[in-house]
Structure 1
Amino acid sequence: MASKNPFNDLHYSFSKKLFLKYSLYALLPLLFLHFYFSPFSFTPTNLSPSNNHVLIPSSKEVLDKKSVVKRSTCDYSKGEWVRDKLGPLYNGSICETIKQGQNCMVSGRPDRDYLYWRWKPRQCQLPRFQPQTFLKLLRNKHIAFVGDSLARNQLESLLCMLSTVSKPDLYYTNGEDNKFRKWRFPSHNLNVSIYWSPFLVKGIEKENEGSFNTLYLEAVDERWAADLKDIDMLVFSAGHWYLHRAVYHYGDSVLGCHALDNCTEIGFYDVFGKALRTAFESVIQRKGPSGSAISVFLATFSPAHFEGEWDMLGACSKTLPYKGSEKGLKIMDAEMRRVGVEQVEEAKSKAKEYGNRVRIEALDISELAVLRADGHPGPYMHPFPFANGVPQRVQNDCVHWCLPGPIDTWNEIMLDLIKRRAGKSKAKT
């Protein structure tokens, strides 16, 4: 005979009173949970600053502001490259602003894997570039890229990404190889320009490989500085030209030289720091006391990836990114990055005198860039270099970046910094 479950008829033994009692016990935890997550507000609805009462923000408002402040900082330099099935935002074959030497797909680069990676910082999420958001945030502004060919490389990346939603009009060109150009996005009255200034300070460039550069470290390059009154955002990118032979002047004195005979060798690290200091101080002095506010970004040193001779096959032949444990910054790359970051921090301290009028930030890309040896044009700096067979010697570009390519991430980080700064400003209001 089957045994009877003692719980089957248990409810028949409860009296009405006991039922109500235990029902109340069951409701208490539910009520506690409700008021824990949705507490009553005891703040009178008619209180306002005008009658000397303090308005208490709702829990949602406090949470929103805390989350904005939390999102306002992130170390973008630490992270990893992860697969991205979406690929680039734009098609290099139809973007009209790419320099031929960086248009790797059009030049016949056969592999496409280098296009399907995105940077994932450890501390935060880096959103995909949003062209409409960039255009809205920079409406009626002038953003200027100032520096060497890597400044141009980043500029052309930005133009291509913005061109997916709004076509720019090129309205000014000047200089050899159009080193000074300006575009306007009529849809948002955004002006974007490039100023060739490989030293950021006044300098005389070498005429050929046998000559040397001459730098005047106390004097800013007026080719860009003279237009500061009309510039709302600056992106500095320089460093590679400091590796060449040079004589350095400061005022009426010769400080020393780099890689020249019969002259005191002083290297280029301190010299690079002095040039950055001059550039930052010029911006602070000219924009701080009066005029419109300005944001300044310094893109840190972008490492090259030459393996062996620059004109031999395989100089930068990787087709996949390095993992973080596989590749680190070389001593020179790390030192150039350090100098840049130090000068940014020094300039930020000096700019505090003017509040938010001059905002300076490092676009710290050195460590994420060193992992992308697969992202350079290599032999595809020239169209179809192997169309007539494999030559004994072939020129390689292992410095600049394919477009589309890893350098698009520079602009993704820059936009995220702009958005975070805007969010932080809102949180304070």
Structure 2
Amino acid sequence: MVSPFKDHQSHSPSYTHSFIKKILPYFIYVILPIAVIRLYLYSPTLPQSSTVHHHLPQPSTVHHLPHSTTPISITTPSSSSSSHEEEEKKPEAKETQCDYTDGNWVPDKMGPLYNGTTCGIIKEGQNCITHGRSDLGYLYWKWKPKQCPLPRFEPNTFLHLLRNKHIAFVGDSMARNQLESLLCMLATASPPKLVYTDGEDNKFRRWNFASHNVNVSVYWSPFLVKGVEKSKSGPDHNELYLDQVDERWAADMGKMDMVVLSVGHWFLHPAVYFEGGSALGCHFCPGLNHTEIGFYDVLRKAVRTTLKTITERRETSENGINVIVTTFSPAHFEGEWDKAGACPKTKPYNKGEKNLEGMDAEMRQVEVEEVEAAKVNGKGFSGFKVEELDVSYLSLMRPDGHPGPYMNPFPFFNGVKERVQNDCVHWCLPGAIDTWNEILLEIMKKWNRG
């Protein structure tokens, strides 16, 4: 390594020798004892961590990114820095609003807290490491907000804030994806115990962290409201009842202290919509006698019904409830879903390459607007807090984070095939989705500060 002082010119040997003879006694009898005493009295204390950092292979190359531009103006909750250095610099600084949507992905040598071989909770289709994905550069990026730092996830802090409480993830497979990310990060501090499972593909599960008596659940409910999912033996479309919440999760609402709602992708499927006992219309239902009405307003009604029902049912409860709505997470298909190279990117987008627009922006906007409306409508309920976990833009910028063909084990073991299944919707674990839970923790910390 080249010294940063290589251009400094040294003095002649005779001059240097004479100077050292003169200064050495002073150094030994005066300066050295002072330095030792200062080291003893003011030795810095290193931060302790009870988390286990599992070893991950390092990528061969990490690409540096310029700052990203973001079209998002809605701000998410504020968070003061947990950095001791920042506290020393600004001991009287007041908490400022932080927009976690405004930032860019930067290289991160530390990598994730866990890996796919040690967690034991990850759904097989998102376990990209064990399925043979070799380009591991996607593990070494960190989201850097423009206005504030985003601290590394602290599992013990998360568990402490939820001691003796129950957090439930409700929604579609993205809710499950986020849940499994959280479980794996928490497992680095405390082992979870599976205490309940039900439903096909384990769609209803609950874990308990005995160290803090924290319960973490997942409820499959791809519309949040009552719905009948299409099946091979029934109609080839979904049926949604937009004025009725899905009781498969809502029946347990009284036992929940915090609920994370995450839906969106299932609203793109063909469906017929009902409200007040009659059909409103449909989305992509040729051959049926219904009016095509799209899905944006339907998503709005579903989120509105859900948030309204939560406030109505919990308003009279002694214990409050905190609600998080995770915004729509864009997919990254390039071409056909079953063709090689459907999501081929190996690093985040650079500045200017991508903007949040079209359907992705519309879906996010609907969810953000309904959360903001719920804040106003729930002001009279002191035990009700609601916030959007706005991940749409930061997720859009990570086309490299999906399983792609590695949704199946070693898809190219027998050579590259022209047709191969690809998952460009869900996220590899560990990976970019871990950032969602880092921001979730910052929201919880802000709420805890009052």
Do Structure 1 and Structure 2 share a fold, with TM-score over 0.5?
yes
1:65–1:339: structure 2 CA closer, same or farther, 3 Å change rule? farther
Look at both structures and tell me which one has the larger radius of gyration over its CA atoms.
Answer: 1
Partner of residue 146, structure 2: 122
Tell whether 2:332 aligns with 1:314: no
1:123-272 superposed matches below 5 A: 123-208=147-232, 211-261=236-286, 262-272=289-299
1:420, distance to aligned residue in structure 2 (A)? 1.9
1:282, distance to aligned residue in structure 2 (A)? 0.8
1:323, distance to aligned residue in structure 2 (A)? 2.0
> How many positions carry a matched residue from both structures?
359
Return the letter of the residue paired with 1:353.
G
1:109, distance to aligned residue in structure 2 (A)? 0.3
Tell whether 2:415 aligns with 1:389: yes
- 1:202 aligned counterpart, secondary structure: strand
1:64, distance to aligned residue in structure 2 (A)? 6.0
Task: Decide which of 399, 410, 415 is 2:436's aligned counterpart.
Answer: 410
Q: Percent identity?
A: 62
C-alpha distance in structure 2 between counterparts of 1:291 and 1:271, whole Å: 33
1:392, distance to aligned residue in structure 2 (A)? 2.2
Runs (5+) with no aligned partner, structure 1: 1-59
What do residues 377-398 of structure 1 show as CA deviations (whole Å, max 9, x unaligned)?
0000000001111122100000
1:287–1:326: structure 2 CA closer, same or farther, 3 Å change rule? same
- 1:275 aligned counterpart, secondary structure: helix
Runs (5+) with no aligned partner, structure 2: 1-86
Task: Decide which of 330, 338, 363 is 1:303's aligned counterpart.
Answer: 330
C-alpha distance in structure 2 between counterparts of 1:396 and 1:251, whole Å: 39
1:210, distance to aligned residue in structure 2 (A)? 7.1
C-alpha distance in structure 1 between counterparts of 2:91 and 2:367, whole Å: 34
- 1:386 aligned counterpart, secondary structure: coil
Tell whether 2:306 aligns with 1:282: no
1:210–1:107: structure 2 CA closer, same or farther, 3 Å change rule? farther
C-alpha distance in structure 1 between counterparts of 2:364 and 2:199, whole Å: 30
Partner of residue 334, structure 1: 361
Normalising to structure 2: TM-score of the pair?
A: 0.78
1:3-42 superposed matches below 5 A: none
1:235, distance to aligned residue in structure 2 (A)? 0.3
1:347–1:64: structure 2 CA closer, same or farther, 3 Å change rule? farther
1:328, distance to aligned residue in structure 2 (A)? 1.3
- Contact 1:372 1:406 survives alignment (8 Å): yes
- 1:353 aligned counterpart, secondary structure: coil
Normalising to structure 1: TM-score of the pair?
A: 0.82
1:41-120 superposed matches below 5 A: 67=94, 69-70=95-96, 73-120=97-144
C-alpha distance in structure 2 between counterparts of 1:244 and 1:383, whole Å: 28
- Contact 1:324 1:371 survives alignment (8 Å): no
- 1:224 aligned counterpart, secondary structure: helix
What do residues 167-220 of structure 1 show as CA deviations (whole Å, max 9, x unaligned)?
000010000001000000000000000000000000000114970000000000
More helix by share: 1
